[in-house]
Amino acid sequence: MKKIKITEQIHVLGTTFKDIYEIEHYLRNEIPKDDVYVGQFVKHHLWFDECDYLSDNYWHCSFVFAKSKDEVENKLEKLREYEFPELREELAPMIYWDDEYDDMEVTDDITLK
């Protein structure tokens, strides 16, 4: 596991994504990029401290990658068994991002380009 910035270009399964926003683009449009499919498991979390307001809106996001839509669905099904999304090496390649930070955790098989 390693940390990278959400704005960094990453290389996964032979495909390069320019940043987390491009990954989200392919996810939203439900299309693969160069035969790499993306899936996402998201969970809302509340975090209260002296700086927070009722309108604060934070998310835990796990992104999984695979060469087929079925494999992505299988990985997402396994993620849903856990209470919170988090990085799971057994589901690599994978990204975990708590959207209040500019860093994301990635499995070791995801590299910077």
pLDDT digits (tens), the chain, 113 positions: 899 999 999 999 999 999 999 999 999 999 999 999 999 998 766 555 555 555 556 678 899 999 999 999 999 999 888 877 678 889 999 999 887 678 999 998 988 86
CA distance 39 to 71: 10
pLDDT tens, position by position, 22-32: 999 999 999 99
Total residues belonging to the chain: 113
Strand segments, DSSP code E, in the chain are: 2-5, 10-12, 15-17, 37-45, 58-66, 94-98, 103-106, 111-112
Tokens at 10, concatenated: 């990453």
Tokens at 92, concatenated: 């690599």
